[in-house]
């Protein structure tokens, strides 16, 4: 049985301009480095996992932070 969190994680996509969003995240969380913010196409969850580890937050929290900053 698949949980809601797993399903939303599988469906998670970053929309808008990631470079702009990454700059905003870097301002808010200065401990993030370029490697933490590197996004490869189709590997959004790898990015989320890196950010979660660096910021010591849950992956769901990171997805919500990113979603709040997304420009449609």
- Reading the block at residue 8, the tokens are 């939303």
Tell if the pTM clears 0.75, that is, is over it: yes
- The pLDDT score that the predictor gives to residue 12 is 84
- The pLDDT score that the predictor gives to residue 72 is 45
d(CA 72, CA 55): 25
Summarised one tens digit per residue, pLDDT across range 42-72 is: 899 999 999 999 999 999 999 999 988 775 4
- Mean pLDDT of all residues belonging to the chain: 86
**Helix/strand number for the chain, H first, E second:** 5, 0
- Reading the block at residue 28, the tokens are 């808010």
pLDDT at 39 exceeding the cut of 60: yes
d(CA 2, CA 34): 33
């Amino acid at each position: 049985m698949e949980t809601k969190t797993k399903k939303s994680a599988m469906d998670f996509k970053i929309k808008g301009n990631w470079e702009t969003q990454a700059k905003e995240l870097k301002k808010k969380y200065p401990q993030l480095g370029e490697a933490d913010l590197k996004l490869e196409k189709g590997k959004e969850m790898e990015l989320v996992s890196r950010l979660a580890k660096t910021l010591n937050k849950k992956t769901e929290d990171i997805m919500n932070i990113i979603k709040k900053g997304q420009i449609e």
